[in-house]
Amino acid sequence: MKALITRKVGMTSTIADDGTVTAVTLLSASPCVITQVKTTETDGYQAVQLGFEEGKNIAKAQAGHFKAAGTSPKIVREVRVEEITEDLKVGESINAEVFSIGDEIDVTGTSKGKGWAGTIKRHNFHRGRKTHGGRSYRRPGSIGSMYPQKIFKGKKMAGQMGNEQVTVKNLKVVLVDTENNVIGVTGAVPGPRKGIVVVKEAK
């Protein structure tokens, strides 16, 4: 299983022999511990629960859940898997070595929150005309016609922008540093520095 919970370190770039510059995001990939293995027989689906970093003041219910793994992680995420292999056991650790250069991965994180935003910033609406008496500059304009006398859900309007789960697919691994537990990924990764990022093999 190729999956890890990581923290975003920041961005840099690499220069190829032909002078091509590629943007690279560095991810801190400390070892993750398997805290639970879910199977179709017991849970209805197959997944592996991973724990990341050491937590403080763990609740008793959580401490009991993590007792078999011998750890008390700060962050827990679940990754779906197609099959449960013998090496996927509770208490086993997974580190950056599971990935190799050239692997295609999907990256999931929480995007930066931009607060309440209008339609121009949030949905790239056009500004209204500033000539001939026009007064509707940054307003959204008409949001519904006469029929069907209601506004459908999902209508593009002003609202909360960012701070939502975002998955970027088919990025490539360009760096694997097992000594410093760092993975380099092409392109941008959602979220701020120190944000939690889940990396898993692309399907």
The number of angstroms, rounded, from the C-alpha of 187 to the middle of its chain's C-alpha atoms is: 14
DSSP symbol at 81: -
Residue 121: predicted pLDDT: 97
- Residue 165: helix, strand or coil by DSSP? strand
SS3 category, 80: strand
- Its CATH class, for the domain covering 3-115+166-201, is mainly beta
- pLDDT of 137: 95
Closest CA to 99 of 7, 201, 203, 16: 201
Instruction: From first to last of the 203 residues of the chain, give the pLDDT tens digit.
Output: 899 999 999 999 999 899 999 999 999 999 999 999 999 999 999 999 999 999 999 999 999 999 999 889 999 999 999 888 888 899 999 999 999 999 999 999 999 999 999 999 999 999 999 999 999 999 999 888 788 888 899 999 999 999 999 999 999 999 999 999 999 999 999 999 999 999 999 98
Task: Note the pLDDT of residue 165.
Answer: 97
Q: In angstroms, rounded to a whole number, what is the distance separating the alpha carbons of residues 118 and 159? A: 7
Greatest C-alpha distance within the chain: 73
Structural domain spans, the chain: 3-115+166-201, 116-161
